[in-house]
Structure 1
Amino acid sequence: MPLAWPSILVPSSENWNPNKGASRGGGRGLTNQEQVVVGPSGYNTATLTIPCMTRARVLAMRALLAGFDGRAGSVFVGPFEVTRAPWFVDPDTGGKITYGQGAKDAALDPAWATNPDTSSRLDFQVGAAAAMNATSITIQRNRGGFLEPGMMFSIGNRLHLITALTTADPVDPDTLQAGAGAVGIAFRPWLRADYPVGTPIEFGRPLGTMGLATDDTGAMELQLSRLGTVTLDLVEKF
């Protein structure tokens, strides 16, 4: 079972490549030309730099690294998409309601979490049955913002990135904000499995199944034996 990523460990920088290894070639010939083809071989990689500047973060990082059991283990983790996710827009203020904002509001008054105008809930689903190895699908948006190329999402704990919209994005004629309806997208990498209609799609906190790229990645050097910064090189696990 993959580990859960400790919420206290927030990267100061992250580098996600959602489609590494998607092309294959046979090498250059005598004329210095090479035939390169695309195939369903792309996979996610990431480099996360994580400051461990408190005792709690140091302990959490130690526990995480030990729990990996080297390259044998895995963790559910994804990009921190707070500024890029298709959040629902408050019809009164015009502000985007992130998961973090929704949690703060609900802590003051639980009614904020159930009010359709103030809830941070997102609801995106597979809109038409999608087959393994597909690079385009239909998304049914029931609640959320406009979709854009470059946004990352997860389905079945696998990360993907939108490369293009293949249909128009529905607009609510009354608010001119994103409306409920179907949106076609192209994406990478290829789907890892078959997904039926109604399968949840996560944009607000997308998570993929990732593992250590090498047994030595993430070595923690503590300055003055107290604090440090850890760099993790991760690859998608299958």
Structure 2
Amino acid sequence: MIDIDEWSPHLTPRNSFYELKGLVSSGGRVADGREQRVQDDVGFWRHSQTYAIRNRAQALAYRAMLTRLRAGEAILAKVFDAYGPPTTGTVAEPSASLTAAADLRATTVSISTFGLILQPGIAFSIGHRLHRITKVVFHTPGGTAAWNGSAPWDGSAPWIGQPAAGPDLWTVNIQPPLRQDLAAGTNVDFFNLQCLCVIEDVTSGDIDLDLGFFADPTLSLIETI
């Protein structure tokens, strides 16, 4: 498997597109213009990136990556999205995890977050898999934990002026369905999006160097299961 970090010092996409495809297939149109459609709840991600090739290191890195993709290797592609979840600023490092176990093909999951606001349309990764929130079903704001008056006093512990705040609890609908069974506590990543992909068409992605030096090739990838 190709890890894009191998070439990240050289290859930075100018633009990035990702969208869920294959949710609907057509049975064709009849004479009156109507079309029979078959809904598929699985789908797959199509992901494309355009790279600016301006020097030797960038050209060689792109050529090596493209050659390995055409030879059949999968790539753990980074997905760039400027519209991630807003942060509340109440915690230094926002985080999220599954509140409860979730089964293969589940389209509803429970997530606990610290310092994050979840909204429909926001994407996240679990492992090598990419998903998108389609609906926020339920949200319980994080509260401040109550003092436990029955706990023994620990004079060696640092004094904290107030109890720590609890996490926000969310129930959200997602697409595509989960690709595997997941345990409670599994990390949910809203900032380092990634998706396991293969090249969409082995004839695409050619690097046509202008004057032998410059190019802007587009690499098209599709999710592999």
Please tell me the TM-score bracket, short chain as reference. Answer: 0.7 to 0.9
Match of 2:4 in 1: 4
Structure 2 spans left out of the alignment, 5+ residues: 145-164
Match of 2:67 in 1: 66
Write the deviation string for residues 129-174 of structure 1: whole angstroms up to 9, x where unpaired.
Answer: 1111111111121x3310111111111311111111111252557x
Percent of matched pairs sharing the same residue? 29
Match of 2:141 in 1: 170
Pairing 1:51–2:23 present:
no
2:103 to 131, 137, 145: 131
Letter in 1 for 2:207: M
Judge which range, 216-225 or 31-40, deviates more. 31-40
Q: From the superposition, tell whether residues 229 and 16 of structure 1 become closer, same or farther in structure 2 (CA, over 3 Å).
A: same
8 Å CA contact 1:3–1:67 kept in 2: the answer is: no
Match of 1:86 in 2: 85
- Distance (Å, rounded) in 2 between the aligned partners of 1:39 and 1:71: 30
TM-score (norm 2): 0.79
Letter in 1 for 2:77: V
- Distance (Å, rounded) in 2 between the aligned partners of 1:79 and 1:199: 20
Match of 2:202 in 1: 215
RMSD: 2.4
Written as runs of structure 1 = structure 2, the 5 A alignment for 1:145-184 is 145-168=116-139, 170-171=141-142, 180-184=167-171
SS in 2 for 1:57: helix
SS in 1 for 2:221: strand
- Distance (Å, rounded) in 1 between the aligned partners of 2:118 and 2:217: 33
Match of 1:39 in 2: 40
- Distance (Å, rounded) in 2 between the aligned partners of 1:43 and 1:210: 10
Letter in 2 for 1:130: A
- Distance (Å, rounded) in 1 between the aligned partners of 2:71 and 2:175: 25
2:214 to 223, 227, 231: 227
8 Å CA contact 1:153–1:161 kept in 2: the answer is: yes
- Pick the structure with greater CA Rg: 2
SS in 2 for 1:60: helix
Write the deviation string for residues 55-79 of structure 1: whole angstroms up to 9, x where unpaired.
Answer: 32222212211222x1621111132
Q: Name the structure with the higher helix share.
A: 1
SS in 2 for 1:201: coil
Pairing 1:24–2:11 present:
no
Letter in 1 for 2:39: V
Structure 1 spans left out of the alignment, 5+ residues: 92-116
Q: From the superposition, tell whether residues 71 and 59 of structure 1 become closer, same or farther in structure 2 (CA, over 3 Å).
A: closer
Write the deviation string for residues 99-152 of structure 1: whole angstroms up to 9, x where unpaired.
Answer: xxxxxxxxxxxxxxxxxx54xx442111111111111111121x3310111111
